[in-house]
Amino acid sequence: MADGQANLGKLTVIGQGTCVGGAQPNPPLDGFPGLCWMPDHPVFGNRVFTDDQKASVFDIAVRACEQPDQAALAAQFGTTPARVADAINYALKAGFLRQ
């Protein structure tokens, strides 16, 4: 699979999403260039979010369960498909999404 792509297939949300934020992002954000985190963002709180500050990983992950098209998700959130792919892949790695 090319960089900036995620195989969405059928995704399932697991838990409450605390794994996509918190006191420190775990897993670390290395390898996810389209994502950021800060302890107390004015919009996203302590959740991991896209570096253009358009959406949280949590919001993208939840919506990806209903809308598998990355371009459509990107348009919905006003961000890029590459950032959507980073968010989905991060949510999968964090254990918030399962395929």
> 36-88, pLDDT tens digit by residue?
998 889 998 889 999 999 999 999 999 999 898 999 999 999 999 999 999 99
* Residue 92 belongs to some domain of the structure: yes
Q: Is the pLDDT of residue 91 over 80?
A: yes
Q: Has residue 86 been placed in a domain? A: yes
Q: What is the pLDDT of residue 2?
A: 40
Query: What domain range includes position 56?
Result: 12-98
In this prediction the pTM is: 0.83
Q: Which of 48, 46, 50, 36 is nearest to 78 (CA)?
A: 50
Identify whether 70 is part of a domain: yes
Residue 56 maps to a domain: yes
Which phi and psi angles does 49 have, rounded to 5°?
-140, 170
Domain assignment present for residue 7? The answer is no
38 lies in a domain?
Answer: yes
Domain count, the chain: 1
